[in-house]
Every structure is written in C-alpha cells, then in structure tokens.
Amino acid sequence: MKRIYVNEEWCLGCHLCEYNCAFANSGLSDMALALKGKPIFPRIRVEDGEKISYAVSCRHCTDPICVKSCIAGALSKDGDTVRIDGNRCVGCFTCVLVCPYGALAPGENGVMRKCELCLDNACGEPACVKGCPNRAIVYEQRGEA
Amino acid sequence: MKRYVIIGNGIAAAGCIEGIRSVDGSGEITVISEEKHGVYCRPLISYYLEGKTDLERIRYRNADFYERMSCRVLYGRKAVRIRHDRHEAELDDGSAVGYDAVCLATGAAPFVPEYEGLDTVPRRFTFTSLDDALALEKAVGPSSRVLILGAGLIGLKCAEGLSGRAGEVTVCNRSPRILSSILDEESADTVRRHMEKNGIRFMLGETVSRFEKDRAVMSGGDTVGFDVLVTALGVRPEISLLEGTGAQTGRGALTDARMETSAAGVYAAGDCTESEDVSSGRKRVMAILPNAYMQGHAAGVNMAGGSEVFEKALPMNSMGLFGLHVMTAGSYEGETYTEKTEESFKRLFISDGLLKGFIIIGGCERAGIYTAMIREKTPIASVDFEMLKKTASTAAYPPQMRRKMFGGVV
Ligand SMILES: Cc1cc2nc3c(=O)[nH]c(=O)nc-3n(C[C@H](O)[C@H](O)[C@H](O)COP(=O)(O)OP(=O)(O)OC[C@H]3O[C@@H](n4cnc5c(N)ncnc54)[C@H](O)[C@@H]3O)c2cc1C
C-alpha cells in the first residue's frame, strides 16, 4: 500500500506539515481563521532530535496493535487505512500506551485524532506531503506490503 | 463443515470470531452468551454512568456483527459443563452443542469475600457488567451515599462514574495504597489527592468487620452509613468449566502460545487465562482488554487450522480518572528514574540493561515507545537512553533502527 514516508536528511524541521495538517482537518477554508492564535492539534508531529528531525504520522500498520487494544471499539481497519471513530473514542489513551511510533495524540476535545491520509477532508491528498517545502515527506508505495 | 463453540461473548469471543472467520468463512460458529447483550466495551461501563457513552456507542462491534460473521448466538444461556470426551458443551437448559474445537472465553468473575451481615444489605452491587451499570443507574440518586469496597481499577472507575450522580462517594480499601497492584506509594498518592480534589472520600488501611443493613462497622470501630454498596474487591478467572476436560490450570487456564490448553481442541483466551509476563518472565493473570482480543484472535485462527501465536503478553493499563491520565506497564524491578511535579509523575524501572516497566501520570505523550521497548526487550545500550528517559521519542533510536522502523531508505 501507499504510505507516508519521511526522508530525515531532507526534513528541515520547519513544522509546516503540522500546520498544513491541522488546517486540512479544521474544516475551515481560511488558514488564519483556523490556526492563528490557537493551540493546534496536528496528526503529524515533527520529532526534533539533536542532529535530526523528521515527521511522524500513523504508519497504517498491516497488523495494528492500536486497533486490537482499543477499549472503546473506536479504532478499526478500513481497507488499508487505520481509522478512528471520534464519536466512540472516550480518550482513555490506551492507543497512546501501545503505539510504538508515538503516532496518536488527543485532539482539542480530548478524544484521539490520528492521520487518516486526508481521505475525508477537503484536501483529498495528504496535506503534509503536498505542502512540504523540501519534499521530505512523500506518499508512495515502497518495498514492503 | 467444522463446528466451533465459543463459551462467553465478551472481547475474547469477538477476537475469536474474527480469528476464525479470517481463515474459515463457512464453519458453523455457536456463541454461548450468559449476558443478554451483544459484545460491548466492558471497560466503558463507568463511562456509561458518566454519560460519556450510551447503549448504542458502547457496542464493541456494530449491531450487524454476528450476522456479518454468520454466528449463532444463544443469549441468556450458560454453559454448565464441557464434555470433552463427547466434544459437547452442555447448557443450563439441558441441551448440548457439539464442537470440533471449543474456546473458553468466560472472562473473570467478581470475587466477593464473606462478610458478616453482607446479606442484610438491601442494595449491594458488583461492577463488572453492563447490567451492573444499569442497576446502579437506577439505584443511585442525588442524595445517595455510595460506599465502594476496593480501590483497584474497577472500584476507582466506579467511583468516578457515580460521582456526578450520587450525593457522596466513599472508597474503602484494606491497603493504605490505592491501585496497589499497579502503583507504588508516591504515584498512588498523586492519584488519591487528585481524586479527593474531585470529591471522592477515601478510608484507607481499613476493612469492614461487619455490615448492618445500611451501616458498615469498620475494623477500627467507626461506622459508615451508606445507601448503596459496591464491592470491587477483584476478579477471578472463570475456569470451572475446564474441570474434567484434562486441561491444566493454574490461577487461570494454561495454554500454549497458540492458545490451546493441554486438552487438544480446547482453547482458552482472555481474562480466564494466565500467561507469561514478558517483562518479568513470571506467569500471571493479565486481565486486560488488549490481551483478551489478541488471545481470542489467535485462538480463533488456530481453531480454524491457521497459525497465529500470542506471545509477549505484558501487563499494561491506561486510565483516566477525573481527567488525570495514569499509565502503567511491565514490572517494577531494578533501578528507577523518576521525574515529579505537583501534577505529574514518571518513574521508569530498569534492570539487566532493559526497560522493565513504568508508571506515568500526567504527561503520557508517546508512552507507547516505552511500552514497545519493554515488549521487544530493546537493550537500553542500543538507544540514547539519556534522551529517551526524559522524552519518549524515536529520535533516541540509532538511525539504522529508526529507518527500518519507519520504512525509510537506510
Ligand atoms: C469497570 C471495568 C473497567 C475496565 N477497564 C479496563 C481498561 O481500562 N483497560 C483494559 O485493558 N481493561 C479494562 N477492563 C478489563 C476488560 O474489560 C477485560 O480484560 C476484558 O473484558 C476481558 O475480555 P474477556 O472476553 O476475556 O472477558 P469478558 O469481557 O468478561 O467476557 C466474558 C463473558 O463470558 C460470560 N460467561 C462466563 N461464564 C459463562 C458460561 N459458563 N456460559 C456462558 N457465558 C459465560 C460472561 O458473562 C461474560 O459476558 C475493565 C473491566 C471492568 C469491569
């Protein structure tokens, strides 16, 4: 399947992907209105190491441990995509406890938000990929399944 | 056509059904369900009382689940015996269901010790099922004084669930420490203080010596009046059906990694089992939902002739209590690394060059990175542990390892 991959050598650590993600998922059409002066809850996060930075979002695992661990039946696999039903999530953080990538975090209302590849929002393709100034984030099929 | 019988209709059963169907689309599945509900999220019964879920959303799977999986469910029926010599499960109505493979997915039942005068208490409840929650919903009103015995996960979640409905909620516990099976003294204090701020009263280090209708006489001599009593003193694996099958048991059902017991064709999964804790190497009952699902799934796949193992069982838990998140995993042995503030607490346990366990309260971001290190036994020498102990981040992994993990070019 196609996944989002990040080339750490090219990642500038600019955090633009976080803003693009939060904006794409805000449902608003004005970026300033959506993000300015507000805490943002992106579904992709830049990890800043000492010498490196790279963005992390859901890997859409073939065998996702978050789905199997969700105590609310809110996470599920829909085709190749791991989805969350925000209406069922109770914000217990069990998925945060089990995800080895650190790819889930709560949204503004305390329920979990995760990358769903911009399938449902107006962007139509991963906004982080589209807006990455150095093309460090790509959406492609690689060797493994 | 293969015949499968699943005893119990909880999370492990749901995993088992999905496991069977991932291999065998046509075999006959019969689920024996003592509870009259389809599979629901048992851990959410306290959220139901809080109004954070409802009878529709609490379903673990959509309403058409059993139809989609073409399963027959016998609601309100209890299995009373497994006649493994005849490959039959006998039910409480005298009927029997034949099987080629059976899975014990009976969970764990609340344990209620004998107290003098307990039978004089008119309104007493346990808190492990949706029916318990529905009964409490009826019994508790704005002026009710609720007494909860037991300050484990179930007792505290019950206290939280009822706090908005009841006049007062008191939790009484034999141990001076709340959540004593998953927290140490300091971390337990942090959680207790937070709950007290939210109106929960604690009576710790005390036991009830006898009940008199609506009063509990405590070991210290005090009496506590109450209107509603909830006993939350732990659960015990429900394994009585394995008697006579030849399946070995400890405190729970013993299985191999394929979830088959020592009686060929008899499988077991979920809270009724005991397995080896990967962090300590010791056998224990790990009554948590993720294990139940994964064990059930593995059992189902193997029952249907496929191959799946469940290994690396780890005790772990994540719970919110009045907005404070408490995460724990693994075992608490070895040296510790601790960070503390007024509202947050983090303690890592390190031994034999491995991360063995943690207690994190408050800042829980990306804790799964720690959990994975415990589960995979990643040597701490292979990562930048100085960085990692402060912040859970894969940035502390060596590039090679990280790139492999994220599927990047090495
Ligand atoms: C209040 C509460 C909060 C919890 N919170 C968490 C949490 O935050 N995180 C977590 O990981 N876990 C939590 N748990 C534990 C979690 O619910 C269990 O680990 C999980 O439900 C186990 O699934 P199971 O299928 O093994 O058993 P169960 O879900 O208990 O299902 C077993 C079913 O079998 C039925 N049964 C038993 N005997 C028979 C018989 N002879 N015939 C027919 N049917 C029978 C029972 O009635 C029951 O419906 C919580 C539990 C409770 C009660």
Please give the structure tokens belonging to residue A3. 């996944």
Ligand 1 center to A90 CA (angstroms)? 18
Whether the CB of A140 is below 8 Å from some CB of chain B: the reply is no
Measured in Å, residue B274 CA sits from the centre of ligand 1 at 14
* pLDDT tens per residue across span A42-54: 999 999 887 889 9
pTM for the model stands at 0.97
Chain A contact for B317, CB < 8 A?
yes
Ligand 1 pocket test, candidate residues B78, B106, B319, most atoms within 8 A of CB:
B106
pLDDT at B194: 96
For residue A109, what pLDDT is reported?
A: 86
Is A7 an 8 Å CB contact of chain B?
Answer: yes
The CATH fold assigned to B118-231 is FAD/NAD(P)-binding domain (3.50.50)
Amino acid (1-letter code) at residue B278: V
pLDDT score of B408 more than 80:
no
Strands B354-361 and A81-84: unpaired
Q: What is the pLDDT of residue A12?
A: 93
pLDDT at A144: 62
A139 interfacial to chain B (CB closer than 8 Å): no
Top CATH class, A61-114:
alpha beta
Contact A52 B399 (CB under 8 A): yes
Q: Do A47 and B393 touch (CB under 8 A)?
A: yes
Amino acid code (one letter) for B410: V
Task: Convert the pLDDT of each residue in B326-346 to its tens digit.
Answer: 999 999 999 999 999 887 899
Which ranges constitute the DSSP H helices of B269-331? 289-303
Please determine, for residue B14, whether its predicted confidence score (pLDDT) is greater than 50: yes
Q: Residue B104: what are its φ and ψ, rounded to 5°?
A: -85, 110
Torsion, Cα B348 B351 B356 B359, to 10 degrees, reads -20
CATH class of A1-57+117-145: alpha beta
For residue A102, what pLDDT is reported? Answer: 95
pLDDT at residue B410 is higher than 50: no
Residue A144: exposure state from Cβ atoms within 10 A (0-12, 13-18, ≥19): exposed
> Is the CB of B385 inside 8 Å of chain A's CB atoms?
no
pLDDT band at A91 (very low <50, low <70, confident <90, very high): very high
Inter-residue contact B352 to B333 (CB < 8 Å) = no
pLDDT tens digits, residue range B53-101? 999 999 999 999 999 999 999 999 999 999 999 999 999 999 999 999 9
Question: What is the helix (H) or strand (E) element at residue B385, kind and residue range?
Answer: helix B385-390
Does B367 sit within 8 Å of A101, measured CB to CB?
no
State how far the Cα of A47 lies from the Cα of A18, in Å rounded to an integer.
11
Task: State the virtual CA torsion across B397, B400, B403, B409 in degrees, nearest 10.
Answer: 160
| Cα–Cα distance for residue pair B258/B232, rounded to 1 Å | 32
The pLDDT of residue B363 is: 86
Sequence ranges of the domains in chain A: 1-57+117-145, 61-114
B3-109+235-303 and B118-231 agree in CATH topology: yes
Q: Report domain extents, chain B.
A: 3-109+235-303, 118-231, 332-405
**Beta-bridge partners for B326:** B319, B361
What residues of B are in contact with residue A48 (Cβ under 8 Å)? 395
Overall average pLDDT of the B123-144 stretch: 98
**b (16+ CB within 10 A) / e for A127-140:** bbbebbeeebbbee
pLDDT (0 to 100) of residue B68 = 98
The CATH homologous superfamily for domain B3-109+235-303 is FAD/NAD(P)-binding domain (3.50.50.60)
Angle at B382 between CA B376 and CA B383, to 5 degrees: 90
**For helices B185-197 and B153-163, what crossing angle results, to 10°?**
10
- A30 class by beta-carbon count within 10 Å (0-12 exposed, 13-18 middle, 19+ buried): exposed
Which residues from chain B sit within 8 angstroms of residue A144, using beta carbons? 407
Give residue ranges with CB within 6 A of ligand 1: A 71, 92; B 7-13, 32-35, 42-43, 45-46, 78-79, 105-107, 127-128, 153-154, 157, 238, 241, 270-271, 287-290, 292, 317, 319
Average pLDDT of chain B to the nearest whole number: 96
CA distance B210 to B36: 34
pLDDT of residue B132 exceeding 90? yes
Q: Which of B160, B177, B372 is nearest to A92 (CA)?
A: B160
Q: Residue B374 to residues A43, B196, B235, B244, B328: CA-CA distances in angstroms?
A: 25, 33, 26, 38, 12
CATH pick for B332-405 out of 1.10.357, 3.30.390, 1.20.1510, 3.90.930: 3.30.390
Q: Closest chain A residue to B57 measured between Cα atoms?
A: A88
Distance B262 CA to ligand 1 centre (A): 23
Instruction: Give mean pLDDT, residues B248-275.
Output: 98
> Residues of A with CB below 8 A from B326's CB?
none
Q: How confident is the model at residue A84 (pLDDT cuts 50, 70, 90)?
A: very high
Two structure tokens written together for B60: 């673990």
Label the pairing between strands B88-91 and B235-237: unpaired
Overall average pLDDT of the B247-275 stretch: 98
Q: Which helix (H) or strand (E) holds A105?
A: strand A105-106
Taking alpha carbons only, the member of B82, B100, B93 closest to residue B4 is: B100
